[in-house]
Amino acid sequence: MKTGLGFRGWFYFRMGWSTYLVFLLGAINTLTLTYFLAVDNYPELMTIFPTFEQYVLIMVSCGIPILVVVGYAHYKKTRAYKSEAEILVESNPYVRRNTVNLDMTIRLNLKLLSLILKLSKKETVDEKEIEEIEKLQKHIVNLVQNRSLTDQIDMDYLMKEIAKT
């Protein structure tokens, strides 16, 4: 695959910026602002958090476990991550193509395994099974010959075939 070094650098820059630098600056900014604008102005809160360092220590020791639970819930307990994954497949033709190819490969392998098992038991392949194999072959050949990364054929396959399962 030929891609420009500039675009790759731009992508890595954005990942480093948004994932690490902004996260660190956001955490520092939030802790600083909340302490000096909220805690510092209320004597009741000053008794709980007498210094900025203690405030940071308490917030970090409470905040990290809470955020880990929220992150876990995001990925494992809610539909949020599933929706993100669906959007990624819908919007990225390479991910969509890999998903379709994997589904076709599994269907083909299952059919081949059933034939191998049948032949290993010295059974004959009947006409119905041959028709199913020919139908599967035509379907795969048609899909491979007619699709491109810029059309909707893979997406249509996903919506029609994979959504059934």
Q: Tens digit of pLDDT for each residue in 137-149?
A: 999 999 889 998 8
139 in a structural domain: yes
Stretch 58-66: mean pLDDT: 96
85 in a structural domain: no
72 with 116, same domain: the answer is no
DSSP 149: T
pLDDT at 24: 94
157 in a structural domain: yes
Instruction: Classify residue 115 by burial, with Cβ atoms within 10 Å: 0-12, 13-18, 19+.
Output: middle
| Residue 96 pLDDT greater than 70, yes or no | yes
Which residue range is the domain that position 160 belongs to? 93-164
50 with 101, same domain: the answer is no
Q: What is the pTM of this model?
A: 0.64
pLDDT at 5: 87
Q: Which structure tokens are listed for 32?
A: 């600083």
Q: For residue 28, what is the enclosing H or E element?
A: helix 22-33
pLDDT at 85: 87
pLDDT at 161: 77
Alpha-carbon dihedral of residues 131, 137, 139, 144, nearest 10 degrees?
-170
83 in a structural domain: no
Q: Which of 38, 54, 78 is the last residue of a domain?
A: 78
Distance CA 148, CA 150 (A): 5
Number of domains in the chain: 2
61 with 116, same domain: the answer is no
